Amino acid sequence: MHAQRRYVWKGRSVRRSSIVAGAALLLGLPASAFAQSPPASPASSTEKPGKEETAPKQDANGLILSASTRARYETVTGRPRPDYKASEDAFTVRTGIAVEYGPGPFAIGAELIDSRAYDIGPGTLIGRDDVNAVELPQLYAKLRLNDALGTGSKVAAQGGRFLLNLGSGRLIATDEYRNTVNGFTGLRVDLEPDTRTELALFYVLPQEHLPDSAREIRRNKVVLDRETFDNVLFGAHFQRKKLFGETQAELAWYRLAEHDSPRRETADRRLHTLDARLFREGKAGTIDYDLEGVYQFGRARPSTEPDAIDRAVSAGFVHGAAGYTFAGPLKARLGLFYDWASGDRPGGRYGRFDTLFGSRRDDLGPSGTYAMLARENISAGGVRFEAKPGKRVEALADYRAVWLASRFDEFAGLTDETGRSGNFAGHQIEGRLRFWLVPDHLRLETNFALLFKGRFLKDAPDAVGTRSNTVRFLETNLQVTF
């Protein structure tokens, strides 16, 4: 959901003129004295966070105000997950309003999001990722300065509650498709010594979505999220634009340290995550690519059970994609892609990759009541087609064949510790169609997925929905933006 247009500090060009000019007029200082403010990032975003075309508009006084609501109906059949119904219908609503005011070097902002689900019962997959009624994930203050590190440099510091979007979004992101957002509380500093270099440093406490009991989630009970020093995330993200030609490079290190608390049992993850990425964005008549590799190490337990044994972690993730965008009014792009995320195997080390706070929709398909593919224990490649013929219509469709990276580890809630069910999960076809009924204000969207079950999803112990060889998912939503 989003209101008007939106921009963020990280990784994209943004409109600077209005706030800089307003600050200069207000305080009688040169426009270069202030850096542009990254605005509130409402859950109302309609695109991947950070894209310039999704930035909210700002008036001459430095005020950004955005609001929207999205109503979604989804249905799924043939789901194999144990402990959940094979078929389910769900209706969810997400409403958000965000505001930021900052005509000078200082800015303050806040965002209220109300995420609810209706007419759901026992056996639903709807949980904390879908329900978070009346929550304030953002309440922050910022300081922005230009030329603090030399002519043309920029510095921004942000403290309080806010959202994080770093790099590709596969590890830390605001998930636009999901019905809730990942909020963090702490401090972030952004440094731009020149126009080609960006460095983000942060120390935050991830906000824990509440309530966490199935009964209270089904009632949409209002319980404010909490953050504690028992769950800490910090790190650095570096980006170099135009490393060579139009190719950009990113390097990142993230440290997650969590521990059990009186109110919450955890997997005691103490993970170091090293991330490297090279990419070139798509343009008409050119080849684009995106290569990302992640290595993860540290210690963790395989589950939150009290008797789970702490183990050394060695896990990894690889994403590779390349495509070509054709010139012409259709703006068609055809591409190939491959994703591999390690799974656990018998032995001393724990090998299941942890995607941290990443978004899955862009790479792997819908979440919600479907959520069949995740960035863990997967080896999947395929082909994708995208088109954007004008400002009103967008289309996406892809096919992938899906294997387990480890036949001994969990996939889609199923585990065969003997490995006898094989490692082929099936064939997935999924896509999305968007149509703006009123450009920038009223959008109709539908997402679909078909997963033709392979041997593992049919034969794994405890699999449900075995009468159906296909998982079918269809979702439609209507979004109003103010």
Of 77-86, 256-265, 349-358, where does mean pLDDT reach its minimum? 256-265
Instruction: In whole angstroms, give the CA distance from residue 339 to residue 378.
Output: 7
Q: Looking at residues 253-273, what average pLDDT do you find?
A: 91
pLDDT (0 to 100) of residue 305: 82
CB burial readout 246-264, b (16+ within 10 A) else e: eebebebebebbbeeeeee
| The pLDDT of residue 2 is above 80 | no
Which pair of structure tokens corresponds to residue 401? 């064949």
Instruction: Tell me the mean pLDDT in the region 258-282.
Output: 92
With a CB cutoff of 8 Å and minimum separation 6, the contacts of 347 are none
Choice between 21 and 195, residue whose per-residue pLDDT is larger: 195
> What's the whole-number mean pLDDT along residues 405-416?
96
CA dihedral 247, 197, 316, 314 (to 10 degrees): 150
pLDDT at 55: 52
pLDDT at 10: 33
Q: Which 8-state DSSP code applies to residue 166?
A: B
The identity of residue 130, as a single letter, is D
Averaged pLDDT for residues 136-160? 93
Q: What share of the chain is helix, strand, coil (3-state, %, to 5)?
A: 5, 50, 45
Segment 388-417 mean pLDDT: 96
| More confident: 222 or 5 | 222
If you average pLDDT over every residue of the chain, what do you get?
Answer: 88
What are the tens digits of pLDDT across the range 5-27? 333 333 333 333 333 333 333 33
In the predicted structure, residue 380 carries a pLDDT above the cut 90? yes
Q: Average pLDDT for residues 196-209, to the nearest whole number? A: 96
Of 23-32, 290-299, 470-479, least confident by mean pLDDT is: 23-32
DSSP code for 326 = P
pLDDT of residue 15: 38
Between the two ends of the chain, the Cα-to-Cα distance in Å is 10
Per-residue b or e along 345-383, where b marks 16 or more CB atoms closer than 10 Å to that residue's CB? eeeeebbbbbbbbbbbbbbbbbbbbbbbbbbbbbbbbbe
60: pLDDT strictly greater than 90: no
The string of DSSP codes covering 40-97 is: ---TT--SSTT-GGGPPPB-TTSEEEEEEEEEEEEEEE----TTS-SSEEEEEEEEEE
| 425 has pLDDT over 50 | yes
pLDDT value at 30 more than 60: no
> Of 41-55, 210-224, 379-393, which range is least confident?
41-55
Average pLDDT over residues 198-225: 95
Residue type (1 letter), 458: K
Whether the pLDDT of residue 298 is over 70: the answer is yes
Distance CA(148)–CA(192), nearest Å, equals 10
Q: Please determine, for residue 54, whether its predicted confidence score (pLDDT) is greater than 80.
A: no
State mean pLDDT over 149-170.
93
At residue 341, φ and ψ (nearest 5 deg) are -135, 130
Residue 175: exposed, middle, or buried by beta-carbon count in 10 A (0-12, 13-18, 19+)?
buried
Q: What is the pLDDT of residue 264?
A: 82
Catalogue all structural domains in the chain, each as residue range(s) with its CATH number. 17-481 (2.40.160.100)
Stretch 340-364: mean pLDDT: 94
453/461 Cα distance (integer angstroms): 15
Q: Token digits for 179?
A: 């019905």
Assess contact for 400 and 424: CB atoms under 8 A. Answer: no
Give 119: exposed, middle or buried? Use CB within 10 Å, 0-12, 13-18, 19+.
exposed
Rounded to 5°, the CA angle 175-373-480 comes to: 35
- What value does the mean pLDDT take over residues 442-447? 96
